[in-house]
Chains A and B, each alone.
Chain A
């Protein structure tokens, strides 16, 4: 058939696909392989690299600082995943006969549009011990010694988590809102006529129908958390005393502050493996039931 012949033009396919394909191979996929390879090098500063086998990876496994940063990343990931439930609850309210729902979700989205650098600088000011709004509020409410949010190792991770929630809330809310609006109106009306309460409609009909979307957002929240960098790098630089160090900031510090490129590559490769493992694990855990179609 003529159409098929025209649309199978091999030189056209190569012309359309190769530029982008070569670009992602050079910028994304080859570096990913190289990072694992460089991880096997003794490579510090600007001295030439030397092959040392699995030395860096062996060091990594016994590096308590690496595990601490991994723990912080995973902790942020778990907290981000749990906060999805709050976003889901807000979305369910918004999607149920709320006037101005569209305006609300747009307002919620605004922080998502800002750069993590701007958010980090702004929240550093919000947390400022003497001139920031949070401690000013706490003092006016009678709190004697309000916390030093970003310099207290015990709470710095929590203090970083708050702007993360602030930043991403609107993003997840628009995802859930769109999914909930996709649930056919007739299904819910039929259930209501059959005597289902609004609570039953929500938990027995809406939630199962948007389960696939919820699964995707769990992956986004968990894997996204493993990649957190900008906000933490700017707000605390991983400090004080590594109390807010995450995997990406630890890797960046080793590579671009201490010039331990070999060891930094090993951390980068571990980060990649953990991200892929997490994605695979969540898919595996959440595909037990059959995906609901609507």
Chain B
């Protein structure tokens, strides 16, 4: 491999690197082994879910009488409508949907307000307040659980969706602000200056100029928040006691506890609970990858 090729690598570096790979049999073998390992890891990550799909379509005779790896002989799609109408799964599902939607909207609006005020406006305590939000990332929510339970009991919000919605919002504000932060800091100052020259008030600058600019990152925070809220367990399990207000995670857990031996029903219930997230991932995987990476490390 000569220097000329190395320089050519600056343009279209991938193609040149590929020819470099092809150059030696040894490195080709090495890459083969690497791909094999990566492929095995991919199978390990995916196969349990495929297996879940398999046993959600089986009868109990197949589950208990045949190899767990066998394909279902006559896929029992009826397991799905069966669990959907029995055991309140449909109710839990729609509770999860509206809890998620409301909490995501509330979190995004409040986080946008705070991030705007902290990054774009001038005030004395902004650093300290930002610190309060960011430290929230390190707080174990279990340490707040007993006082929160006591507080919600005193204000009669136990077994009321509001207790869950407020908890979701408060605990998701830190990660949401963290994702928004970098984006807001990168907006050029000239934007506000132009707004002020045109006679805009600060509210107009926020709602009409800055907030619309953040749409891409808002989409990222929305999807991340959606995943967190959809999957949340502890708050609902602690604050909600009646079936009427339970979400899918808690409902599914209770359901599985009751139908210990009906694997087909359990599988179908679990599939229903993860399907919305899997569909969101198929459609928006880039945003999810970006959001998870940004929410954990930046700042």
Contact = CB atoms under 8 A, between A and B. Distances in A.
Contacts of A258: none
Interface residues of B, number: 101
Contacts of B281: 106, 110, 113
Contacts of B114: 16-17, 20-21
B20 to A, nearest CB: 8
Pick the most buried of B46, B141, B232: most chain A CB atoms within 10 A of its CB. B141
A114 B274 contact: yes
Given A23-B173, A24-B133, A248-B142, A8 B17 contact: no
Contacts of B14: 97
A170 interface: yes
Pick the most buried of A13, A30, A171, A255: most chain B CB atoms within 10 A of its CB. A13
B249 interface: yes
B34 to A, nearest CB: 6
A77 interface: no
A47 interface: no
Given A6-B201, A17-B113, A122 B145 contact: no
Say whether chain A's binding surface is mostly helix, strand, loop, or mixed.
helix
A226 B129 CA distance: 26
B132 interface: yes
Interface in A1-35: 2-4, 6-10, 12-13, 15-17, 19-21, 23-24, 26-32, 34-35
Say whether chain B's binding surface is mostly helix, strand, loop, or mixed.
helix
Nearest to A279: B138
Interface stretch (B74-82, B83-91, B119-127): B119-127
Nearest to B200: A6
A10 B231 CA distance: 38
B36 to A, nearest CB: 11
Contacts of A234: 233, 253
Interface string A35-51: 10010000000000000
A255 B202 contact: no
Contact of A275 (B138, B193, B201, B273): B138
Contacts, number: 280
A171 B289 CA distance: 8
B266 A125 contact: yes
Interface in A218-255: 219-220, 223, 226-227, 229-230, 234, 247-248, 251-252, 255
B67 interface: yes
A7 B120 CA distance: 7
Contact of A174 (B10, B174, B293): B293
B113 A271 contact: no
A34 to B, nearest CB: 4
B278 A113 contact: yes
Contacts of B187: none
B45 A169 contact: yes
A67 interface: no
Interface string B244-277: 0000011011001000000100110010011001
How many A residues are at the interface, by size bracket?
A: 35 or more
A256 B153 CA distance: 14
B41 interface: yes
Given A90-B38, A192-B6, A106 B285 contact: yes
A62 B293 CA distance: 41
A193 B297 CA distance: 32
Given A19-B110, A113-B277, A131-B64, A27 B292 contact: no
B101 interface: no
Contact of A113 (B48, B118, B227, B233): B227
Given A24-B170, A133-B68, A223 B138 contact: yes
Interface string B50-62: 0110010000000
Given A90-B38, A113-B278, A118-B270, A171 B292 contact: yes
A189 interface: yes
Contacts of A178: 293, 297
A141 to B, nearest CB: 13
Given A28-B139, A268-B142, A131 B68 contact: yes
B49 interface: yes
B45 A193 contact: no
A21 B132 contact: yes
A31 B68 contact: no
A133 B51 contact: yes
6 contacts: A23-B170, A31-B145, A93-B37, A118-B273, A125-B55, A279-B138
The 3 closest A-B pairs by CB, nearest first: A115-B231, A27-B170, A31-B147
Given A23-B170, A109-B285, 6 more contacts: A17-B113, A27-B166, A35-B147, A98-B35, A125-B267, A265-B146
